[in-house]
Every structure is written in structure tokens, then in C-alpha cells.
Structure 1
Amino acid sequence: MTGSTIAILGAGSWGTALAIRLARNGHRCMLWGHDPAHIARLRADRSNQQYLPGIPFPPQLDVCEDLQATVAGVGLVVLVLPSHAFRSCLQTVAPWLAPDVHIAWATKGLELTTGRLLDDVVSELLGPATPAAVISGPTFAAEVAADLPTAVTVASRQPAFAQEVAARLHSEQFRAYTSDDVIGVQVGGATKNVLAIAAGVADGIGFGANARAALITRGLSEIMRLGLVLGARSETLMGLAGLGDLILTCTDNQSRNRRFGLGLGRGLRREDIAAEIGQEIEGVVTTRLVYQRSRNLGVDMPITEQVYRMLYEDLPAVDAVRNLLLRSQKAETIGR
């Protein structure tokens, strides 16, 4: 693998937190962001005061506004971008990448135009032989940056590369597990955002802890139904990147998707909620993509359907939850 520097593309909260984690582990890191003014502030402050205030950058971490200079000759590139920017960024950097470059990403979403998993995009643009890995799990950027205990899954079809990425991330406070179930890790990371919106809506209405627990449990069934049809393994979806991430984002207000749902449940305007959050709410776009994919595959995802109808058909939040409660009685099964 050419070069020992790691390029992290995406200077939001999660990209910055991963760059800090890798730099603390002794790796030289270059963090790139699309906004030159933001990068200038990071360079001047030696911290990301906008998203991770009070967390200084380790000496091994530098920032750069020149995308070509960031990736040229680098052995490992980690994309931490909103899913809608994933393809365009990868297309832009592809001509500048070293022939033996390795790619990882920590984006939790699907391709904007097609709903495809992001490993398909990497394979299409860089070739199926390019070592590629996805990093996912129950993670809030602020806690990772604060060096609080965290665990993630690194999945790759090349086991040696999964182990390499995990070893670079691993520390006493950051445990990185490996997997070869690239599909399951991606499905879990994307669909949990949809269900976090649903849990937020229920709490925003005031339906209580019982309803939240029911939504999480039945939401897991939806994740498993879709994942198994796409080729995921059930144990992956019951692990950190599935159930673990689902519990985190449905129950803690650090989750942007949950906070968005809370606002909807309280009757606030979508634009006002998004403006207050001030960062990408990945679950809004993912809801449409997951719903369309489930329809095409004939997978029953009633919670996802009601979130879709709220976001794209203006169904009132109370009516969406009521539709779920009024579904016909059936036997409980997980993943069916």
C-alpha cells in the first residue's frame, strides 16, 4: 500500500472524530473538507469548534482544502461524506489515486439515485479488486472524540484489509471488530436512520417508552427482512452494526435522525427542524430509497412505509403511528 498517510474525506463531526481517533493512534492523517472557510477555521483553531468543541487535534492530524493534494500518493482513503456526495467525490478523486490504494468509508446510507449499497459504487468506479471496507456501528462522534468507550465493526470482502483497518482504529477505548458481511453492515447502518426517525416521532407525540421499545423491536424485524433478501447474515444484523446502532439512534438525542423525528412528532416544520440541527439528516433521503427498494423486492416494511408517507406524502405524524397500531393481529416473528 503506497504511502503511510491516511486521507479522511469529510470534515463534519464524524469525519473529524475518526481522524482524531486515527491520529491519536499515531497515524499521520490529512483531513479534507469541501468548505475552504471551514478548513481555515480548523487549521487556525487546531480543533473543530463547530462540531466537536473543546477537542484539540493531535499533532499527527493536518487539514487540507486541496482534494487532489489530500489523496495523491496516499495508501488509505476513508470517505466520511453524506451519501448524496459519495459517488461524485469518488469519481473526482479516482484519477488521482495511487494504483494500489485502499478505500474505506464510514457513510451510513445508500446511493442517492439508485438506492444501491455503497460498496457497489466503489466496485464500479475503482474496480472489484480494490481493497474496500465499511466502518459502522453504534457511534456518536462527540463520544469518540472525547475518547469514551466505543465499539465498531469493520467489514470487507478481503479479511486481511478488514483486520488492517481495525488495527489502525483499535485502542483501549475504541474496540474494532472485523467481519466479511459487507452487505449486512451496510444495511444495518442505513436502515437504522429511518427507524430512528420513527422512534423520535413516537416520543415527540408523547407515546412513551412502551411504544419506543415496540418500534425498536419491530424495526429490527424490518432490517432483518430487507437484509436477508439482499444477502446479509442474521448474526450481523443482530450485532453492533445492526441492533447496536438501532438502539443507539432510537434512544439518545445525540442522534440527528431521532431529533428530526422528535420535531415532527411535536408538529414542527421540517425546514425549521433541519435548520436547528444544522447537519445532514441522512435518514430523510434513506427513507425514500429503502422504501422504494423494499417495494421492488416485495419486502414488508410497515414502519418504513409510514415514515415515507410522513416525509413524502405529508401524512400527519399521529396518523402514521395510528396506522401502525391498527394493523391486523398476527404472530410475532423476527425477520419475517
Structure 2
Amino acid sequence: MARIAALGSGVMATALSFPISENGHDVRLVGTFLDREIIDSIQRTGVHPDLGLRVNDGVRAFQLEDADEAIADADVVLCGVNSFGIEWAGEQLARLMRPGQKLLCVTKGMRADEDGTLHILPDVLRSYFDPRLAEQVSWNAVVGPSIAGEVAVHHDTCVVFCGQDRADLEQLAGLFRTAHYHVWTSTDFVGHETGAATKNVYAFAAGFAQGLLRRAGKQDDRYVMYNYGAAVFAQGQKELRSFIALMGGDPETGDGLGGVGDMFVTSMGGRNVRAGAFVGEGIPFSEVREQRMKGVTLEGVAAIGVIGGALGPLTERGVIGADEYPLCRFLHSVVARDAPLEMPWDEFFRDLR
């Protein structure tokens, strides 16, 4: 029996407790300072209030002040905070983790330096560690199309565990695999983490078509702008592959679960798609953020801010061309400057000319 501790008790970290506990392992959910009500609910009733499901027997919940107890002897530690809390998580994990433990990062996103240099989030976490401890921790992540509730209720889900050591990855995968939770492994760590981060950028654009239909009073029309959505998706997939190559990963990773597969499921709905739909209706994004969706966590929009914001410095340095990533550049103009929704179609698919 392995011991698995998760820092963060949101829906995804908690959903992952289902396959692990069903394999007979000891699971501890550690709440952040924002999760106190979630942990209290699990401790009192066994129910995760956001998932609306009872956690399995053998899953224990700990408030943040008890994190040392939960993590000290864990074999595997999950980072389950959202991307806005990754620096906080780095500080906590650097204090809590021990040599020989395996880290599995669930959080998706990127960070950028002032010169546009992009970093995957496991590297951001690692930067908080003492270098000697960092060398004695196994660094890994999980990517792929995973709606948390579907994982918890045993809908078939296919994911990739990525990292640097094949043996560690196979050991981790063995802890999680069930008849419904299917795990592949890959040592293209950077490629998969880049794909998982950049797909959030393009999920925002997936909402534009439904907003445009609402603006035109055609939301119940027989013809629902699938052509528009498909073209945006295709350009997003091309840029996702290009970002993977830029970061030093294998572009073909973008064609699999950690790229286009994850982008597909993220584009099906959710908060970022809803935000994009408001923009499609003609509402400036600043109004969407401050009024229509105030207080709502929009990780896709955050990814646009980081990744799209890095394109200018990267272009100035000559790392990328000014004609590269036209969709990401446009989306950044929408969220940063309230640019109107005038899709730059003629800048897409330039390799076909």
C-alpha cells in the first residue's frame, strides 16, 4: 500500500483520490487556506461540496495546519492547487517534502520572465526548493482530457503521466490505473506540460461562436457556426504544436492526449468558454472580468495573459517571427486591451500558401 498526499483539495485533486483509493492506497487530502470549508465538509460528512460526491473510504482530509502530518511519510505528493497559487504551493512543498518522494503536478499553466522566456509549472515549483532536495525529488505531472467529475464517477478517462524517469512514471501509473482510468507514460515532460498549458489559451476562443449567435439572435438557429469553431480549433492546434517545439518538446506530442485531446475537452464548456461567449456577444472583456464573471477563476484567461504577453518580448529578441502565433496574439489583445472580436482569418494557416 502506497501513501499519497495531495496539497489542494479542489475538484481535480479530489477526483484523483477515487482511482488511487480504489486500488487500496492510503490517500490524504490537504486543504489550502482557501479550502477550509471543503475539508470541514469531508471531515464531517465525507462529501466534497463542489463535486457533490462522497469520497471513498480510506480518503482522509487534513486542514493546512496538519499538512506536516499528512505529507511527511507520503510516497507521492500531488500538487493540486490552481495556477494562481503555484508560487504559494512552491513555498509550502519546499518546506514539507522529503528526499525520495515523488511529486505529481496536477496544476496547469506557465510563467514568463520579463524577456518572454516561458517556464512550465513543475520548474516553477522546483525553483523554490533547496537544490539538494530538488535533486532527490522525482518530478512528474499528469496531463490529458480530464473532467474531474467524470473521473470520480468512473467515466473512461485517458491521461499521460509525464516526467524525466521512465521507471518512476511506470510506478506512478501503476498506482492510479483502473478499469476506467487509463494511464500512458512519456518522458516528453516539457512537451506535454506545454501542451496542457497552451490548450487553455484556445479554450477561451471556443466560446466566441455561441456568443456571436446570441448577439445575432440565432442561438436556436439550425446552423450553429461549427465552421467558425472548427477553424479556430485548427489554428489553435497548429499554434499549440508550435509552442511545444519552441519549448524544446516533441511537436507530435501536441497531436495526442496532452495536446489536441485536452484542448478538445476544455473547449466543450466551462468558465473560460463562458467568458469567451460573453466576448462573442460584444461585451468588452474588462466588463466580463469585473462584472459578468467577477470573482470567477479563469485559468485560460490567465494563460493568455502569461503566454500571449510573452510573445512581444520573444519577437523583439528575434526568438519568434512577428507573423507567428496570430491567434494567441489576437486573444491577448482581446483580454489585455479590449480589442473587438475581429478574427484575423487571413493571418491563419500561412503554411498552406
* Structure 1 and Structure 2 fold alike (TM over 0.5): yes
Q: 1:113 to 1:298 in 2, by over 3 A?
A: closer
Tell me, yes or no, if structure 1 residue 42 matches structure 2 residue 49.
Answer: no
Match of 1:60 in 2: 58
Would the aligned equivalents of 1:87 and 1:111 in 2 still touch at CA under 8 Å? no
State the alpha-carbon separation in 2 of the partners of residues 79 and 135 from structure 1.
10
State the alpha-carbon separation in 2 of the partners of residues 78 and 8 from structure 1.
4
Worse-superposed segment, 231-240 or 122-131: 122-131
Q: 1:119 to 1:280 in 2, by over 3 A?
A: same
Query: After the TM superposition, which residues 79-90 of structure 1 pair with which residues of structure 2 at under 5 Å, given as runs?
Result: 79-90=79-90
Identical-residue share of aligned pairs (%):
26
CA-atom RMSD, angstroms?
2.1
Match of 2:237 in 1: 220
Tell me, yes or no, if structure 1 residue 183 matches structure 2 residue 202.
Answer: no
**SS, match of residue 17 in structure 2:** helix
State the alpha-carbon separation in 2 of the partners of residues 31 and 62 from structure 1.
6
State the alpha-carbon separation in 2 of the partners of residues 239 and 119 from structure 1.
21
Tell me, yes or no, if structure 1 residue 307 matches structure 2 residue 331.
Answer: yes
**SS, match of residue 171 in structure 1:** coil
Would the aligned equivalents of 2:304 and 2:332 in 1 still touch at CA under 8 Å? yes
Alpha-carbon distance, 1:73 to partner: 2.1
State the alpha-carbon separation in 1 of the partners of residues 349 and 183 from structure 2.
41
State the alpha-carbon separation in 1 of the partners of residues 296 and 2 from structure 2.
31
Alpha-carbon distance, 1:112 to partner: 7.1
State the alpha-carbon separation in 2 of the partners of residues 130 and 98 from structure 1.
8
Larger Rg: 2
| Partner deviation per Cα, 1:272-313 (whole Å, 9 max, x = no partner) | 4434xx753211111011113333131511111111111111
State the alpha-carbon separation in 1 of the partners of residues 84 and 298 from structure 2.
11
Match of 2:305 in 1: 288
State the alpha-carbon separation in 2 of the partners of residues 113 and 32 from structure 1.
30
**SS, match of residue 191 in structure 1:** helix
Match of 1:332 in 2: 352
Would the aligned equivalents of 2:101 and 2:137 in 1 still touch at CA under 8 Å? yes
| Partner deviation per Cα, 1:45-87 (whole Å, 9 max, x = no partner) | 21212x211x221111111103222212222100011122112
Match of 2:293 in 1: 274
State the alpha-carbon separation in 2 of the partners of residues 287 and 45 from structure 1.
38
Number of equivalences: 321
Give the counterpart of 1:249 among 266, 283, 292.
Answer: 266
State the alpha-carbon separation in 2 of the partners of residues 30 and 224 from structure 1.
36
TM-score between both structures, scaled by the size of structure 2 = 0.85
Alpha-carbon distance, 1:190 to partner: 0.6
Match of 2:220 in 1: none
Question: Which amino acid counterpart does residue 333 of structure 2 have in structure 1?
Answer: R
State the alpha-carbon separation in 2 of the partners of residues 197 and 327 from structure 1.
19
Structure 2 unaligned residues grouped into runs of 5+: 214-223
| Partner deviation per Cα, 1:188-226 (whole Å, 9 max, x = no partner) | 111111101011123321371001111111111101111
TM-score between both structures, scaled by the size of structure 1 = 0.89
